[in-house]
């Protein structure tokens, strides 16, 4: 990638070719010696020197200059086949010829070098431009490093980024500690330094407009390449491109964080308002009912048993709400770990129904399981929370004795679980909003709740790579459908599984 | 008549302690109490209770540690009360030797049902019957045969072993790990779906309504429980 600008490796073959060229010219000129003037013969040799230099470079050019003069003298200058010319004036011819040949060689070689430098510069610029374009599209530090690796390719150099935000280089050994010190030094002085002890590694600071972002450490992976120090200017250019990309990423992160904070702030506000309304109302009812137990006799109140049952139900409803709230907090904190295992839908439905045996009332529940439902991978505890929430909604918002249908089926690569009721259905046109936090179908409903249930369902289902959708049945009633990816269930290799 | 069943209640919340104690005494049990784990262990060694009821969140020690220590010298039944929604804490306690758990808040009716089931098990374990009966199913342990409504039910060897393991521990929560270990061996510990498939098969063959089982119950995230 960085073409050699200095004297190219010139093998002995080039010198041999130069020698051959001179001999060929001599042989070609031999039959012409009676036709041409000696001065014109010289021109043939000068052309040879020029061509040799052009094709083979400076060294062979100089060789051909010297050899040409010697051959010319030996073969063409009288006396023939003798080195000492008969006439002293030929000495001038030979001297001028040598001088012109050497100068030709020198100038041609110089021009060649210039051309090579120009073309390598152009190539470098193109590569830098490509790097700049890659860096502009990089969305993470990892992609910045990838772009850099792509730029270096097999150039014989390797570069590692030590970014300030990530803490500089883990220090496992004394060698690493030394490297860490060096990095710190470079950052403090904001100056490129070479580390002679570590295989001439070059430490280039990543200087962005507002601060030093870190250090790029360039090492040679190919010992034949020049030391990174000799390419310092180039690496400093690369470092400045990277510094700008890192700076841009930094500001993107800052912007995202601010956005997150703002939405967390909004969420907190809605939690507080939901808590104060949706928890206080049932609490007030609890206090009133407990009071009514001690007031018996003075005021006409419902029977003790009835009141006690109401208190119990209210408390349990609040416990369910609190459970949802805690679950949501846990899921949103990002610390919840899915304990996914291969599960059966019949198990999930059975355990969800059993959890609700007290709230179910007189609703008949019909379970429709497609035959041969395969194992599906999910976190049983969380998914049970989803099904319980859906069933609870169905029990809560429909009239007693109306049936609830749960069905499980497969469709393509998805496992479907649908809960349907025969109630009033969802308010039309708002089925998407219902899965938002603290959104309720009817905002000031008399039913206890705070608009958490469906939001948790969506969070859990989406964490499993699935989707959840609500719709109303044409014949009346609400349906919520969960889709979970089927995956490939493990083979049952136990001997008895086949029986 | 034999001596009354004794229960040791280890719970640090005084209100709960008071109401649970009075309810249990109302049922004719003899109740001792302790409000810390350390006191609980001392009481347990002197009172030799038939049933230990422990809160998992004690002020001075982890309830699971208490259960583990108690188990080193006693076979009495252990019921755990836990306020934690975390399944892992429950599983640790059950693996340490607890028989059953109740998650707070629980109803008194539910507590009494669990206590009765555990006490019944204490009484049963000394009988050593060769026959298990639940619903319309009879398991003849001596002849290794299972009948439902008098008709023979064919079970594979593994199905039968799982049935016997579950049915001989009625009311006890058996964790996934315990069941996998006892039936399939520890090499299969990662393949808990075998367990689910087998329980599902037992339900198909022996439950009156497999969609809503009453005998083979799932304790989600924990394991299974068999109810008579």
pLDDT band at A498 (very low <50, low <70, confident <90, very high): very low
Query: Alpha helices, DSSP H only, in A334-417?
Result: 345-355, 380-397
> Testing the interface with A: which of B185, B210, B218, B225 to mutate, by most A Cβ within 10 A?
B218
> Testing the interface with A: which of B198, B220, B222, B223 to mutate, by most A Cβ within 10 A?
B220
Q: Which residues contact B139 (CB under 8 A, 6 or more apart)?
A: B131, B132, B133, B145, B146, B163, B164, B167
Q: Using CA atoms, how far apart are residues B156 and B158, in angstroms rounded to an integer?
A: 6
> Of residues A268 and A124, which shows the higher confidence score?
A124
Q: What is the per-residue DSSP string for A253-266?
A: HHHHHHHHHHHHHH
State the pLDDT at residue A450.
60
Residue of B nearest to A499 (CA): B156
pLDDT band at A222 (very low <50, low <70, confident <90, very high): confident
| SS3 state at A91 | helix
Q: Which pair of structure tokens corresponds to residue A399? A: 């009239």
A189 alpha carbon, distance to own chain's centre: 31
> Of residues A320 and A411, which shows the higher confidence score?
A411
Between helices A38-56 and A12-29, what is the axis angle to 10°? Answer: 160
pLDDT band at A213 (very low <50, low <70, confident <90, very high): confident
With an 8 Å Cβ cutoff, is B226 touching chain A? Answer: no
From the number of C-beta atoms within 10 Å of its C-beta (0-12, 13-18, 19+), residue A180 rates as middle
Q: Using CA atoms, how far apart are residues A202 and A188, in angstroms rounded to an integer?
A: 16
Task: Kindly tell me if the per-residue pLDDT of A469 is higher than 80.
Answer: yes
State the pLDDT at residue B67.
92
Task: Find out whether B212 and A350 touch, Cβ atoms under 8 Å.
Answer: yes
> Across the interface, which of B156, B213, B218 has its CB nearest the CB of A499?
B156
Q: Using CA atoms, how far apart are residues A155 and B7, in angstroms rounded to an integer?
A: 79
> Across the interface, which of B107, B197, B211 has its CB nearest the CB of A350?
B211
Task: Find out whether A459 and A409 touch, Cβ atoms under 8 Å.
Answer: no
| CA B114, B118, B124, B130 torsion-angle sign | positive
**Could you read off the pLDDT of A70-105 as tens digits, one per residue?**
888 888 888 878 788 888 888 888 888 889 888 888
Residue that has been written with the tokens 């039910």 in this structure? B153
With an 8 Å Cβ cutoff, is A364 touching chain B? Answer: no
State the pLDDT at residue A496.
54
pTM for this prediction: 0.61
CA distances from A251 to A132, A222, B114 (A): 18, 36, 59
Q: Using CA atoms, how far apart are residues B43 and A74, in angstroms rounded to an integer?
A: 124
DSSP element (H, E) containing A321: helix A304-332
From the number of C-beta atoms within 10 Å of its C-beta (0-12, 13-18, 19+), residue B149 rates as exposed
| Range among A276-290, A480-494, B124-138, B151-165 rated most confident | B151-165
- Exposed e or buried b for every residue in A27-61, given b needs 16+ CB within 10 A? eebeeeeeeeeeeebbebbbebbbbbbeebbbbbb
Q: Using CA atoms, how far apart are residues A359 and A132, in angstroms rounded to an integer?
A: 63
Task: Kindly tell me if the per-residue pLDDT of A34 is higher than 90.
Answer: no
With an 8 Å Cβ cutoff, is B105 touching chain A? Answer: yes
B130 alpha carbon, distance to own chain's centre: 21
> Across the interface, which of B156, B217, B220 has its CB nearest the CB of A496?
B156
Q: What is the mean pLDDT of residues A449-462?
A: 81
Q: Using CA atoms, how far apart are residues A68 and A80, in angstroms rounded to an integer?
A: 15
- All residues of chain B having their beta carbon less than 8 Å from the beta carbon of residue A388 are none
Min Cα separation B212/chain A (Å): 5
pLDDT band at A246 (very low <50, low <70, confident <90, very high): confident
- All residues of chain A having their beta carbon less than 8 Å from the beta carbon of residue B113 are none
The whole-chain average pLDDT of chain A stands at 82
Q: Which pair of structure tokens corresponds to residue A65? A: 């200059």
Task: Kindly tell me if the per-residue pLDDT of A170 is higher than 60.
Answer: no
> Could you give the angle at the alpha carbon of A381 between the alpha carbons of A377 and A382, nearest 5°?
80
β-bridge pairing B6-10 and A478-485:
unpaired
Task: Find out whether B6 and B47 touch, Cβ atoms under 8 Å.
Answer: yes
Residue segments in chain B with a per-residue pLDDT below the cut of 50: 1
With an 8 Å Cβ cutoff, is A499 touching chain B? Answer: yes
Task: Kindly tell me if the per-residue pLDDT of A229 is higher than 60.
Answer: yes
From the number of C-beta atoms within 10 Å of its C-beta (0-12, 13-18, 19+), residue A313 rates as middle
- All residues of chain A having their beta carbon less than 8 Å from the beta carbon of residue B219 are 351
By C-alpha distance, which of A264, A271, A205 is closest to A240? A205
**Could you read off the pLDDT of A351-406 as tens digits, one per residue?**
999 888 877 888 999 999 988 889 999 999 889 989 998 998 898 888 888 999 99
Q: Using CA atoms, how far apart are residues B72 and B96, in angstroms rounded to an integer?
A: 10
Strand order in the sheet with A157-163: A157-163, A212-220, A201-207, A193-195
With an 8 Å Cβ cutoff, is B220 touching chain A? Answer: yes
State the pLDDT at residue A6.
42
A95 alpha carbon, distance to own chain's centre: 68
**Could you read off the pLDDT of A408-452 as tens digits, one per residue?**
999 989 999 999 999 888 877 677 777 776 666 665 565 666 677
By C-alpha distance, which of B62, B120, B69 is closest to B97? B69
With an 8 Å Cβ cutoff, is B193 touching chain A? Answer: yes
Interface size A-B, in CB pairs within 8 Å, comes to 70
Q: What is the mean pLDDT of residues A283-304?
A: 75
With an 8 Å Cβ cutoff, is A126 touching chain B? Answer: no
Task: Kindly tell me if the per-residue pLDDT of A11 is higher than 60.
Answer: yes
State the pLDDT at residue A406.
95
Task: Kindly tell me if the per-residue pLDDT of A174 is higher than 70.
Answer: no
- All residues of chain B having their beta carbon less than 8 Å from the beta carbon of residue A492 are 194, 197
Q: Using CA atoms, how far apart are residues B3 and B26, in angstroms rounded to an integer?
A: 16
CA distances from A90 to A72, A98, B101 (A): 11, 12, 119
Q: What DSSP character marks residue A296?
A: B
State the pLDDT at residue A8.
46
Min Cα separation A231/chain B (Å): 56
Task: Find out whether A104 and A45 touch, Cβ atoms under 8 Å.
Answer: no
β-bridge pairing B100-103 and B77-82:
parallel
> Of residues A278 and A351, which shows the higher confidence score?
A351
Residue of B nearest to A315 (CA): B105
Q: Using CA atoms, how far apart are residues B193 and A489, in angstroms rounded to an integer?
A: 10
State the pLDDT at residue A383.
93
Q: Which pair of structure tokens corresponds to residue B34? A: 């302790």
With an 8 Å Cβ cutoff, is B209 touching chain A? Answer: no
State the pLDDT at residue A396.
85
Q: Which pair of structure tokens corresponds to residue A60? A: 């062979």
Q: Using CA atoms, how far apart are residues A455 and A436, in angstroms rounded to an integer?
A: 5
State the pLDDT at residue A166.
62
Interface of A with B in 310-329 (CB under 8 A): 312, 315-316, 319, 323, 326-327
- All residues of chain B having their beta carbon less than 8 Å from the beta carbon of residue A496 are 156-159
């Amino acid at each position: 990638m960085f073409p050699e600008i200095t004297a190219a490796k010139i093998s002995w073959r080039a010198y041999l070719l130069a020698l051959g060229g001179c001999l060929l010219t001599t042989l070609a000129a031999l039959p012409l010696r009676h036709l041409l003037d000696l001065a014109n013969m010289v021109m043939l040799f000068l052309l040879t020197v020029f061509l040799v230099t052009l094709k083979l470079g400076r060294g062979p050019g100089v060789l051909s200059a010297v050899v040409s003069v010697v051959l010319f003298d030996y073969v063409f200058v009288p006396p023939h086949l003798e080195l000492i010319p008969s006439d002293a004036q030929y000495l001038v011819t030979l001297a001028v010829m040598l001088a012109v040949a050497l100068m030709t060689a020198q100038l041609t070689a110089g021009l060649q070098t210039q051309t090579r430098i120009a073309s390598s510069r152009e190539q470098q610029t193109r590569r830098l431009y490509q790097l700049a374009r890659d860096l502009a599209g990089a969305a993470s530090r990892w992609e910045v490093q990838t772009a850099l690796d792509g730029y270096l390719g097999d150039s014989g150099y390797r570069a590692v980024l030590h970014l300030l935000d990530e803490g500089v280089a883990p220090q496992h050994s004394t060698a690493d500690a030394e490297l860490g010190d060096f990095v710190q030094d470079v950052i403090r002085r904001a100056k490129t330094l070479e580390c002679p002890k570590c295989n001439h590694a070059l430490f280039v600071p990543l200087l962005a407009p507002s601060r030093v972002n870190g250090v790029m450490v360039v090492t040679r992976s190919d010992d034949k390449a020049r030391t990174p120090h000799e390419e310092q200017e180039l690496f400093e250019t690369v470092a400045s491109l990277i510094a700008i990309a890192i700076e841009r990423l930094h500001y993107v992160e800052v912007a995202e964080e601010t956005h997150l904070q703002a939405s967390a702030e909004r969420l907190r506000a809605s939690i507080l308002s939901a808590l104060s309304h949706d928890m206080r109302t049932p609490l007030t009812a609890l206090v009133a009912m407990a009071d009514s137990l001690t007031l018996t006799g003075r005021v006409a109140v419902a029977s003790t048993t009835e009141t006690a049952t109401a208190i119990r139900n209210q408390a349990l409803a609040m416990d369910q709400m609190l459970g949802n709230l805690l679950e949501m907090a846990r899921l949103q904190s990002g610390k919840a770990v899915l304990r996914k295992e291969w599960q059966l839908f019949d198990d999930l439905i059975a355990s969800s129904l059993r959890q609700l045996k007290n709230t179910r009332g007189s609703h008949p529940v019909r379970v429709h399981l497609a035959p041969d439902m395969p194992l599906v991978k999910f976190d049983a505890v969380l998914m049970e929370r989803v099904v319980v929430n859906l069933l609870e909604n169905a029990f809560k918002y429909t009239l007693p004795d109306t049936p609830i249908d749960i069905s499980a089926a497969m469709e393509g690569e998805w496992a479907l679980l649908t809960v349907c009721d025969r109630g009033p259905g969802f308010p039309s046109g708002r089925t998407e909003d219902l899965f938002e936090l603290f959104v309720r179908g009817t905002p000031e409903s008399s039913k206890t709740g705070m608009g958490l249930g469906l939001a948790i369902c969506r969070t859990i289902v989406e964490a499993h790579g699935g989707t959840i959708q609500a719709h109303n049945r044409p014949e009346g009633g609400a349906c919520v459908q969960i889709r979970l990816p089927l995956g490939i269930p493990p083979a049952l290799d136990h001997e008895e599984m086949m029986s | 008549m034999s001596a009354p069943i004794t229960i040791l209640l280890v719970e640090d919340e005084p209100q709960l302690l008071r109401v649970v104690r009075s309810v249990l005494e109302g049922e004719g049990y003899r109740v001792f109490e302790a409000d810390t784990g350390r006191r609980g262990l001392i009481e347990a060694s002197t009172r030799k209770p038939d049933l230990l009821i422990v809160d998992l969140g004690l002020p001075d020690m982890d309830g699971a540690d208490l259960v583990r220590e108690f188990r080193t010298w006693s076979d009495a039944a252990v019921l755990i009360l836990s306020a934690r929604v975390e399944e892992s804490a429950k599983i640790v306690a059950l693996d340490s030797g607890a028989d059953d758990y109740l998650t707070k808040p629980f109803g008194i009716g539910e507590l009494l049902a669990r206590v009765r089931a555990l006490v019944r098990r204490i009484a049963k374990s000394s009988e050593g019957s060769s026959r298990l009966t639940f619903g319309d199913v009879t398991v003849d342990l001596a002849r290794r045969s299972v009948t439902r409504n008098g008709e023979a039910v064919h079970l594979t060897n593994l199905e039968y072993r799982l049935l016997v393991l579950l049915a001989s521990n009625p009311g006890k929560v058996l964790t996934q790990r315990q069941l996998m270990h006892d039936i399939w061996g520890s090499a299969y510990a990662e393949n808990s779906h075998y367990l689910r498939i087998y329980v599902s098969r037992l339900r198909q063959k022996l439950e009156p309504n497999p969609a809503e089982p009453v005998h083979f119950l799932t304790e989600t995230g924990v394991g299974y429980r068999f109810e008579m």
